[in-house]
Amino acid sequence: MSISSNNQPSGASQPEVADAVLRLTGRVVVRFETLGGGRNSRVYRAVLNDGGSVAVKCYGFNPDDPRDRLGTEFGSLRFLWRHGVRQIPEPLAADPPARIGVYEYIPGPSALASGISADMLRSAIALLDGLRTLAGTHGLEWTGLASEACFSFAAVVEGIRRRLDRLREGHRGGPSASDMAAFLRAKVGPLLDDVVKRGASQLAAARIAPDDVLPVHRRTLSPSDFGFHNAIARMAGELVFVDFEYFGWDDPAKTVSDFLLHPAMALPDDLRRIVTKEAGAVFGSDPTYRVRLGAYYPLFGIKWCLILLNEFLPESLVRRRHAGVADGDLDDLRRTQLSKAEHMLCRVSHDYESLPDGPIQ
């Protein structure tokens, strides 16, 4: 069989992926087109001999991160599809030993390509509302926790301090390293201390202790890495959300905070007002949701600052050098990420000072 493409799907050769598609769907692949992917997976459009197409996702394996990404994504999409959710691609077939999933191919550009509108935001909130409703469905025993799920104030703070310590202790020298260290020392650390103190006070006023664990009935199902960076605009204008590798149970205050703060979207104030209002209507039956959102929002903003600085960690250096990135280029990349982190912290600090109860109303 001849397949026209120079692309090599991650973790499997072209013939192996084509054989998997044939075995799973009974259809023959004539060529691959790259759709995207990252360190953990590669996504391709497989054009078939009958004129149709499917999306094929090849999941990598990292012994330091043994999460079952295929099982989580395919299982969650299959569950949602069976319950009538249509803002997702239909899951078609999976080959767990080969770590290959086959999904409906969704033609269209990234949802970010034409700018974010109020209707797009309401579409995203509608999906969160559907997930909240399905959280009460029977048969969810297979569902684990969303990636980095947190169910107490103390757990959120501990996770952030752990990230901060890794950056303080684990970064390697270089022209930009001292600037990053100074940023952590002079800006991030002091703001984090203030945010933790205020957040604990806000929760105490609502009779919530820092180590109180969020009850199961107040949790929601969450895609985790949720936003328009992971959405495709159909030709009819409908949005389809993709990338459910990190799906699972989470605190809705974390889900909404991450959506508001995600660097890929950089929502302006008027659109953040819509998100806060619409999400409040979805999750507002929980009397503690609003106070948790107010206490957690600046914390997750600081966490995003630290995520943006991951390029300073030793494992990033090893990965980049393995990929052939020169030290000078790596330092430029790190300076870019430091600038992004500084911008994020300014935004969080502004919101924290001017909006003491949390996200913009």
Residues 40, 125: one domain?
A: no
Three-state DSSP at 263 gives coil
Residues 259, 164: one domain?
A: yes
Domain boundary among 75, 104, 133: 104
Residues 100, 236: one domain?
A: no
Q: Residue 34: its pLDDT value, please?
A: 86
Count: domains in the chain: 2
Per-residue pLDDT, averaged over 300-324, amounts to 80
Structure tokens of 228?
A: 């328009």
Confidence class of residue 209 from pLDDT cuts 50, 70 and 90?
very high
Q: Residue 54: its pLDDT value, please?
A: 97
**Burial class of residue 226, CB neighbours in 10 A (0-12, 13-18, 19+):** buried
Three-point CA angle 305, 266, 154, nearest 5°: 40
CB of 243 within 8 A of CB of 230?
Answer: yes
Residues 97, 184: one domain?
A: no
Residues 41, 142: one domain?
A: no
Bridge partner list, 103: 55, 91
Residues 97, 177: one domain?
A: no
pLDDT digit string, tens, across residues 16-27: 899 999 999 999
Within a domain: residue 302?
Answer: yes
Domain that holds residue 96: 14-63+92-104
Residues 224, 273: one domain?
A: yes
Backbone angles phi, psi at 222, to 5 degrees: -140, 140
Within a domain: residue 142?
Answer: yes
* pLDDT of residue 80 exceeding 50: yes
Residues 178, 261: one domain?
A: yes
Confidence class of residue 8 from pLDDT cuts 50, 70 and 90?
very low
Per-residue pLDDT, averaged over 214-218, amounts to 95
Residues 182, 310: one domain?
A: yes
Question: What are the residue ranges of helices labelled H in 108-227?
Answer: 118-134, 153-170, 177-183, 189-205
Confidence class of residue 39 from pLDDT cuts 50, 70 and 90?
low
Domain boundary among 71, 104, 137: 104
Residues 6 or more apart whose Cβ sits within 8 Å of residue 308 = 263, 337, 340, 341, 344
Q: Residue 6: its pLDDT value, please?
A: 40
CB of 188 within 8 A of CB of 164?
Answer: yes
The listed range with the strongest mean pLDDT (123-132, 164-173, 236-245) is 123-132
Q: Residue 327: its pLDDT value, please?
A: 59
Residues 204, 311: one domain?
A: yes
Residues 151, 289: one domain?
A: yes
The residue with tokens 């619409």 is 278
Residues 96, 142: one domain?
A: no
pLDDT digit string, tens, across residues 161-177: 999 999 998 766 677 88
Within a domain: residue 46?
Answer: yes
Q: Residue 106: its pLDDT value, please?
A: 95
DSSP class of residue 338? H
